[in-house]
Amino acid sequence: MWWDEIPHFDALLWPLMDVHRDGKMRYYAPEVRDTCVRDPTYGVLVREALDYMIVRRPTPQEWFDPTGIRFADERELGEYLRAFRDYVTGIRPEPIYLPAGDQLSRDAQP
């Protein structure tokens, strides 16, 4: 899978995938940011992994499979990932929060 190419991915499941599932972003994004600030080494790993994901440009379907979050296109997904990276690294005051009602269930057909 595309995420297998990300260094230290197994240690980064929480900030890279789990935070985005099932509307958890509102609750856990601040915790990810705080963890990255408290542990700068971890913060660098998270930033580098997000940078890789942004460059790698997973397709909306590739992103939906592990997270359940649906995007209209790669541009929208890239904007979301850049906003999350910028939030985690302290550049942006808030990530992009997706309204829970806008997301389809995993069982819904695209």
CB 22, CB 68: distance < 8 Å: yes
Cβ within 8 Å of residue 53, ≥6 positions away: 6, 16, 81
Cβ within 8 Å of residue 45, ≥6 positions away: 7, 8, 11, 12
74-103: pLDDT as tens digits: 999 999 999 999 999 999 998 887 755 454
Residue, of 1 and 37, whose pLDDT is higher: 37
Q: Which of 70, 59, 50, 61 is nearest to 9 (CA)?
A: 50
53-62: pLDDT as tens digits: 999 889 999 9
The whole-model pTM stands at: 0.83
Which of the 8 DSSP states describes residue 104? P
Q: Looking at residue 31, what is its pLDDT? A: 93
CB 45, CB 74: distance < 8 Å: no
